Structure 1
Amino acid sequence: MPIDSSDTPTPVDNNKQKQYFIHPRFWGMWLAIIFLRLITFFPWHWQMRLGKVIGKFMYRVLKSRRHVANVNLKLAFPELSSCEREQLCIDHFISLGQGLMDLSLSWWGSDKKLQALTRIEGREHLQQALEDKKGVILLSMHFTSLEVGGPIVSSLAQGLHVVYKPHKNPLLEHIVAKIRARRYGKAIPKNKIREMISSLKAGHSVWFAPDQSFKHKGSLQIPFFGINVPTNPSTSRLATITKAKVVPFITVREYDEKKNAIAYISRFLPALADFPSKNLEQDAMRINQLFEDQIRLFPAQYLWTHKRFKTAGELSVDYYVNEVTE
């Protein structure tokens, strides 16, 4: 999954790191990190209530992100009325706010607390795939509780290797790198395909989420909610090269009838049968349909603030500039 070199933060000399990170340019990030760290001491239900307040605030003030989410929801769910989509957008921003609380829990919370809050479904599918000892590709998508799934799956697949996109902010990348080193067996930048292959061939489980827009060499134009979008075919290629099983895995929040978050659900689906095929496009279509099916189950919790419907090629359309009509 190649990325531009601009996605990778400039490395900082270890000897100068401390002085570098106290520069005023990082003060805002320090405040955010301190806030998230303190949140871990709150009861979880308080965290979710606070996340709900933050989410509603973000809905009001983050106009560009709200626009992106609204466009995405119009494209993905044209059958909904304007009022229904507006409510779904509000619910999504609430989920985003609660996702910040999830970061706090997954980075600094205790495993015991996290496991007590999580119902694991389908763990037998992971265990069956692990028994082959040929490596397992844990296929995820960007739900707002994505990070919570890491510690959960790491407790079931020892030495889990995770694929990540480096943060552009060097302070955040420095802190998250330490968390990854503590939580996981190995962290692999998403452009390091050979490292993923080596990990899988060595029998490790590799967790990654290739569901976002992919405008790099080798991308395919594949339908997603009925719209052809640049799609990452790496899942099929990795499975072909390594013979690893592909086990879909998601983590989402469970809500009661009053829309109060009450728990997490970490769900493993059966390993994909007859995968990969000999047709890369058919494999990519199958993966996108899998993503779409899971998103429809939990529509408010998918990351709709990402411009997933960016298109490419001669017939490309910029949905995020032009108004999408009803």
Structure 2
Amino acid sequence: MAEISPPTLNAGSFHPRNWGAWLLISFMLGISLLPHRLQHYLGLAIGRLGKRLLKSRVHIARRNLHICFPEKSAVQREQLLEQCFIHLGHSVVDTANAWFWPKWRFAKHLHFEGLEHLEQVRQKPGGILLLSAHFWTLESHARAFGVIDPGVGIYRPNKNQVYEYFQYHGRTRANKYLVDRTDVRGMIKALKNGNAVWYAPDHDYGTHAAVFVPFFAQPNAATITGTATLARVKNVQVLMSYALRNTDGSITLVIEPAIENYPAGDTKADARTINQAIEKAILRAPEQYMWIHRRFKSRPEGEPSVY
């Protein structure tokens, strides 16, 4: 598959069918111009409204939290659920800032943890498989990492050409380019060229090229095996990285030490290693993780849906 060309706008971009996307982008641009304190209250309002309106997502998140944290009380899980949707609201603000803020303003609200781990792996030749997860801060994470080491992102192109234009250029504001999540050759090429490639294998992408291994308290979570495939590219090192939102609204980019002895060659063991790294990251701030996705939609043959 050929490398994705940066999307452009044309006369058709202003067709009435795209007016909804233009309104959304205008709203996000407006958010980015607000004072930081007002952004905070707007994020709270969006999150609380989202919890009221997105009933099906509330159900999915509640089930995921029950499945993953059976040791917690119902009250504790409901508190996590509430905070999860608050961070959904904040993610709208964070996305607007990551896409539209100038470099100086973004840097003003950015902190780093573990930069020495990136410096260590960069002393060796080869690319970096930047292992991450779907936190609500993922747009901030993309820009934050690009500030120190511009890389390549893996993503799903949006069908709406207007939103796709701003999504692509927002995510590459501090990075090089994006690769379609189905383009494995493109990912390998980026790694061979020494790039840091952002890769999040924490969703349930079906049973193709996947194995069932534990994820938190769920013993059978469909987990893709492509992570090990990419990690086998010559000289590639695997780093866990994610961004956390602080109470003052600033963002901390976290970079963990390189994962050693990976892949080991055992498909299930390798998948479990990745899930454990993701679990460790989530436990830093479980309320900031996107529990609204059906992480356990694929079941072993004969098992009923958990949703």
TM-score, length basis structure 1: 0.87
Correspondent of 2:84 among 74, 81, 92 = 92
Secondary structure of 1:166's counterpart equals: coil
Q: Residue 165 of structure 2 aligns with which residue?
A: 174
1:110 aligns with 2:102: yes
Q: How far, CA to CA, are the matches of 1:252 and 1:178 in structure 2?
A: 23
Q: Residue 23 of structure 2 aligns with which residue?
A: 31
Q: What are the equivalent positions in structure 2 for 1:1-40 lying under 5 Å apart?
A: 18-40=10-32
Q: How far, CA to CA, are the matches of 1:180 and 1:263 in structure 2?
A: 18
Structure 1 residues 125-154: Cα deviation after superposition (integer angstroms, max 9, x where no partner): 011111212111111101001110112211
Shift of 1:94: 0.4
Q: Which amino acid aligns with 1:203?
A: G
Secondary structure of 1:40's counterpart equals: helix
Correspondent of 2:208 among 212, 217, 220 = 217
Secondary structure of 1:119's counterpart equals: strand
Q: Residue 74 of structure 1 aligns with which residue?
A: 66
Please tell me whether the aligned partners of residues 209 and 226 of structure 2 are also in contact (alpha carbons under 8 angstroms).
no
Q: How far, CA to CA, are the matches of 2:108 and 2:170 in structure 1?
A: 21
Correspondent of 2:295 among 303, 308, 313 = 308
Q: Residue 185 of structure 2 aligns with which residue?
A: 194
1:297 aligns with 2:289: no
What RMSD, in angstroms, separates the aligned Cα atoms of the two structures?
Answer: 1.9
Secondary structure of 1:21's counterpart equals: helix
Q: Residue 119 of structure 2 aligns with which residue?
A: 127
Secondary structure of 1:183's counterpart equals: coil
Please tell me whether the aligned partners of residues 146 and 252 of structure 1 are also in contact (alpha carbons under 8 angstroms).
no
Shift of 1:298: 0.6
Correspondent of 1:152 among 141, 144, 148 = 144
Q: Residue 57 of structure 2 aligns with which residue?
A: 65
Shift of 1:119: 1.4
Identity of aligned residues (%): 33
Q: Residue 174 of structure 2 aligns with which residue?
A: 183
Q: Residue 274 of structure 2 aligns with which residue?
A: 287
Q: Residue 75 of structure 2 aligns with which residue?
A: 83
1:265 aligns with 2:252: yes
Q: How far, CA to CA, are the matches of 1:20 and 1:312 in structure 2?
A: 43
Secondary structure of 1:220's counterpart equals: strand
Q: Residue 258 of structure 1 aligns with which residue?
A: none
Correspondent of 2:226 among 234, 254, 268 = 234
Secondary structure of 2:233's counterpart equals: helix
Q: Which amino acid aligns with 2:201?
A: P
Q: How far, CA to CA, are the matches of 1:204 and 1:280 in structure 2?
A: 25
Please tell me whether the aligned partners of residues 310 and 317 of structure 1 are also in contact (alpha carbons under 8 angstroms).
no
Which 5+ residue runs of structure 1 have no aligned equivalent? 3-10, 256-260, 321-326
Correspondent of 2:93 among 91, 101, 106 = 101
TM-score, length basis structure 2: 0.93
Correspondent of 1:165 among 156, 177, 180 = 156
Shift of 1:216: 4.9
Shift of 1:246: 0.3
Secondary structure of 1:283's counterpart equals: helix
Q: How far, CA to CA, are the matches of 1:181 and 1:266 in structure 2?
A: 17
Q: How far, CA to CA, are the matches of 1:146 and 1:123 in structure 2?
A: 18
Shift of 1:275: 1.3
Which 5+ residue runs of structure 2 have no aligned equivalent? none
Structure 1 residues 164-220: Cα deviation after superposition (integer angstroms, max 9, x where no partner): 111233321122223345432121111111111111111111112111112152111
Shift of 1:316: 3.2
Q: How far, CA to CA, are the matches of 2:157 and 2:253 in structure 1?
A: 25
Secondary structure of 1:247's counterpart equals: strand
Q: Which amino acid aligns with 1:294?
A: A
Q: How far, CA to CA, are the matches of 2:213 and 2:16 in structure 1?
A: 44
Q: How far, CA to CA, are the matches of 1:155 and 1:297 in structure 2?
A: 23
Q: How far, CA to CA, are the matches of 1:180 and 1:58 in structure 2?
A: 24
Please tell me whether the aligned partners of residues 163 and 187 of structure 1 are also in contact (alpha carbons under 8 angstroms).
yes
